[in-house]
Structure 1
Amino acid sequence: MGNALFIVWRESLEAMLVVGVLYAWLARNAPERLRALWAGTAGGLALAGGLAYAIVSVQDELSGEAVEWFQTGALLLAAVLIAQMVLWMQKHGRHMKKSIEADVAAASEKAGGLGIALVAALAIGREGAETVIFLYGVGLEQGSALTTLSGAAIGLALAGLTAWAVSRGLRGLTYATFFRVTSLLLLMFGASLLVAGIDRLVGAGLLPALVDPLWDTSALLDDTSGLGKLLYAVLGYRAMPSLSLVLAYAAYWAVVFLVGRIGSAPAKPAMPMPARENGRG
């Protein structure tokens, strides 16, 4: 339940932030088009719901090894999307408000209410699609749809409460702080999904284990109960990992670290033009 709760909490709050930015801009500049915002928001949620239905329908049509391949692909895709999303936010998050306002201003000028609805639908649809894929990965690991849905419902309620608290200006609670902390947790969760996917590939014989196990720490920290089970779900901890698994895990964090550093590096200032000398040019 915990992973589903966290995913929906994080993604729902981001969606609420997008809606809040759009609402504030429209309230100032085009209050008569606020209805288009709500229509677009509903459309985005419908797109996410359609994706969820499509994923479940495809899985129901598959059988045998095809189901295993589909689920393994979903786990790996979710891990990649999480890393991509966090790194994108790290680079562009501080400018997201201006970008959204620029998009809605251009859409409003060119296509009126329809343009506003499309901007909202695409923004909410993207957040919803990410949430659907992440929750599908969580469900594969937890194995209980009821547990996943319960965690999602609590996460949605918690997102609303967090948005209210931030809007009230509670001390120490800001969107910047929230996204900074939760981004790290999301990356940890992404690593966990990656490990689950690699485990399946090794188990199916599609990826060589190389050395299996590379070590055995089950006597110190078993991954089937207590703290070990929590680390299993959150960090991808394995008491008896294969060499392939360790290499994939290390590569994931190396890429995240390197891309994150490149993305957060300050831009180099432009070279100043040489001053003209008096009487020349």
Structure 2
Amino acid sequence: MITLREGFEAALVIAIVLSFLDGTGRRGWFRAVWLGVAGGVVVSLLVAIGLFAVGAELEGRSEEIFEGTVMLVAAALVVWMVFWMRSRSRTIKRELRERVDDAVTHGSALAVGLLAFAAVLREGVESALFLVGSVGDSNPVVAVVSAALGVAAAVALGYVFYRGAERLDLRRIFHVTAVVLVLVAAWLFSGGVHELSEAGVLPESEALSAVAFLALSLPALYVLLLHDRLRTRLAHVPRDA
């Protein structure tokens, strides 16, 4: 789920960029985009390998503090990413096209390539943090296969968007995945609190992890599931009702 959502956000950016270049007769600039994508993937993999290597070298209390900190940072990034994309889902297509148009106007293939690089790198680094925090003692083969399936699904969705952008309901996709990711974030937050408790940084308490899970998930789910519905209903109520 993590790599599906993160990968799709990157694939969405690339699809919009390629679609705009294709529509303006600049397919020759595709090479710059794919070079940017390749660079972002390579740097993201290096970051992921580095994080996993650091975690593998640590033992005892240091390992617990490292894992707990990574989990908390990952949880914060998940929540930020969910609500940032929620606020930008209506305008991201227009904004990206304006940025590509500006780069094309100034004849800068490098700017287009850097846009693709930044999109992939941001989502790749976030995915690396999430995976380091969530994999833990899981079977590494299962973790790699599931992450690869998420990336493959994200690429497929990106291709569908590229081929028929107007027919893909982005808001519905982001809404469904947002709910799942909020629960993932709450689980990561709870796990981080648990690791720091075991390390002695926080008080030892089984209830603390449960409280942490509820403290993050309930407000976030309220905003995602209920707040918007209430605003929509109120907006349709006649003023003199």
TM-score range, shorter chain: 0.7 to 0.9
Per-residue CA distance 1:57-80 (angstroms, 9 max, x = gap): 323443432222111111111111
2:116 pairs with 1:152 = no
Selected match of 1:91 from 87, 94, 99: 87
Q: What is the TM-score with the length of structure 1 in the denominator?
A: 0.71
Give 1:9 deviation, angstroms.
1.9
Selected match of 2:133 from 126, 134, 137: 137
Whole-angstrom CA distance in 1 between matches of 2:57 and 2:107: 40
Aligned to 2:237: none
CA contact (8 A) 1:166 1:174 kept: no
2:61 pairs with 1:70 = no
Whole-angstrom CA distance in 1 between matches of 2:116 and 2:50: 22
Aligned to 2:215: 251
Whole-angstrom CA distance in 2 between matches of 1:38 and 1:81: 26
Whole-angstrom CA distance in 2 between matches of 1:75 and 1:58: 14
Whole-angstrom CA distance in 1 between matches of 2:163 and 2:19: 16
Note the 1:47-66 alignment, pairs <5 A.
Answer: 47-66=43-62
Q: Which has the higher contact order (CA 8 A, sep 6+)?
A: 2
Give 1:131 deviation, angstroms.
1.3
Selected match of 1:106 from 95, 102, 107: 102
CA contact (8 A) 1:44 1:121 kept: yes
Letter in 2 for 1:129: V
Whole-angstrom CA distance in 2 between matches of 1:35 and 1:190: 36
Where in structure 2 are there 5+ consecutive unaligned residues?
233-241
Letter in 1 for 2:213: Y
Whole-angstrom CA distance in 1 between matches of 2:104 and 2:219: 39
Whole-angstrom CA distance in 2 between matches of 1:204 and 1:259: 33
SS in 2 for 1:208: coil
Q: What is the TM-score with the length of structure 2 in the denominator?
A: 0.82
Give 1:164 deviation, angstroms.
5.1
Note the 1:200-215 alignment, pairs <5 A.
Answer: 200-209=195-204, 212=205
Aligned to 2:28: 32
The alpha-carbon distance between structure 1 residues 199 and 11, as it changes in their structure 2 partners (threshold 3 A), is: same
Paired residues, what number? Answer: 227
Give 1:184 deviation, angstroms.
0.4
Whole-angstrom CA distance in 2 between matches of 1:130 and 1:181: 19
SS in 2 for 1:14: helix
Whole-angstrom CA distance in 1 between matches of 2:4 and 2:86: 18
User: Is the helix fraction higher in 1 or 2?
Assistant: 2
Give 1:39 deviation, angstroms.
0.9
Root-mean-square deviation (CA, aligned residues, Å) is: 2.8
Where in structure 1 are there 5+ consecutive unaligned residues?
1-5, 213-240, 267-281
The alpha-carbon distance between structure 1 residues 250 and 19, as it changes in their structure 2 partners (threshold 3 A), is: same
Per-residue CA distance 1:210-230 (angstroms, 9 max, x = gap): xx4xxxxxxxxxxxxxxxxxx
Q: Larger deviation: 32-41 or 155-164? A: 155-164
Aligned to 1:17: 12
